[in-house]
Structure 1
Amino acid sequence: MLGPWDALEPPPRRVLVAGTTGVGKTTTAGRIGRALGVPHTEIDGLFHGPDWEPRASFEDDVERYTAGPAWVTEWQYSQVRALLTERADTLVWLDLPVPIAMWRLVRRTVRRRVGRTELWNGNVEPSMWTIFTNRDHIIRWGIRTRRKMRAMVPALEHAAPHLRIVRLKSQTEIDAFVERLRPPGTAE
């Protein structure tokens, strides 16, 4: 497993960003895409249709998107994880401490709810009361799955030997890694 300062030769072209819910996968994936000059598509936007219903075209959309020569997306959704893993050349694992991940998740969820931020296909975060009534409320989901990646990602070293795995354990490491991807003389 690589760290933030290890060389990546050749440069990544098909990148997955893994981590627990709310840790910053989408933000980091967007930054990586900009640094490399490759497209980033938020996989949640492909999955969620109106009223939070899964889109029937999700798997076909992921198939098409990842058929391209260069892309960045998040490593999510069990029905496409194998395809994503097979097609990627690099997986960036955001393995931040659980308290930081949970703080980011709560802060993001509250900010989105208060601001009524539209996410994908007209969806907005539900009422904060649903944390008590919905087992799959994003915060409850984050708590329940907070250690999931610590089992899944290391197993890829053997299951997907073609995949370079970069483990980043702090925001400082994330920032340094993204900066190293950028061609000399360019800025974010």
Structure 2
Amino acid sequence: MAGPSRILVYGVYGSGKSTLAEELARRLGLPWHPVDDLTWEPGWVEVPTAVQRQRIGAICRQRRWILDGAYGPWLDLPLAHADLVIGLDYPRWLSLWRLLRRTARRVVTRETICNGNHESLGSVFSTESVVVWHFGSFAGKRRRMRRWQAEPGGPPVLLFRRPADLERWLAGLGPGQP
């Protein structure tokens, strides 16, 4: 049996979705499409929802892809096409620690992210801060992942609650194997 060729990596902000998606793309030879690059333009201008749906829909109609997240207005698209959902269901303290560490590094180094944007101290302390989003979305995303895993009819869901469990799974993953 061939391994999955359409993978949605899902979790809260700071859980490691992009890092995992990049690693899976390398190991499995699948194209990775960073969601933030598809949803944010330079100057932190959000791509209109209709355009986001078009972009994600075009990717999801392809035979091979990895997405490192899914937002509510178009969550239905990758779920309808995915062969596998990998949920990073880590404790809040871990994902928040990772998020704070990553955000601090990006502010200090002025690392370029999603189409030439930069995180700043102003963005960290704004109401639109990724840290605020983390707190606002944590419980809902966690419930959603657990519901997907429990409900038949959707794509298979691998739910990882500890990084060590994910690392063990990755260690056993060969090219083309789920």
Normalising by structure 1, what TM-score? 0.85
Residue 86 of structure 1: aligned partner: 80
Q: Distance in 1 between matches of 2:172 and 2:61?
A: 26
Residue 10 of structure 2: aligned partner: 18
Q: Distance in 2 between matches of 1:24 and 1:12?
A: 20
In structure 2, what residue type is equivalent to 1:140?
Answer: V
Give the match's secondary structure for 2:31: coil
Residue 174 of structure 1: aligned partner: 166
Q: Distance in 1 between matches of 2:76 and 2:151?
A: 10
Matched, 1:62 2:56: yes
Residue 175 of structure 2: aligned partner: 183
Please, what is the CA RMSD of the aligned residues?
A: 1.9
Matched, 1:135 2:127: yes
Runs of 5+ consecutive residues of structure 1 not aligned to the other structure: 1-8
Residue 3 of structure 1: aligned partner: none
The total of aligned residue pairs comes to: 174
Q: Distance in 1 between matches of 2:76 and 2:123?
A: 32
Once the two structures are TM-superposed, the CA of residue 24 in structure 1 deviates from its matched residue by 0.3
Once the two structures are TM-superposed, the CA of residue 13 in structure 1 deviates from its matched residue by 1.0
Is the contact between residue 90 and residue 161 of structure 2 (CA under 8 Å) also seen in structure 1? yes
Once the two structures are TM-superposed, the CA of residue 131 in structure 1 deviates from its matched residue by 3.9
Out of 136, 144, 147, the residue aligned to residue 152 of structure 1 is: 144
Normalising by structure 2, what TM-score? 0.89
Q: Distance in 2 between matches of 1:164 and 1:10?
A: 15
In structure 2, what residue type is equivalent to 1:75?
Answer: G
Q: Identity of paired residues, percent? A: 26
Is the contact between residue 35 and residue 67 of structure 2 (CA under 8 Å) also seen in structure 1? yes
Report which stretch shifted further, 64-73 or 52-61.
Answer: 52-61
Runs of 5+ consecutive residues of structure 2 not aligned to the other structure: none
Report which stretch shifted further, 144-153 or 81-90.
Answer: 144-153
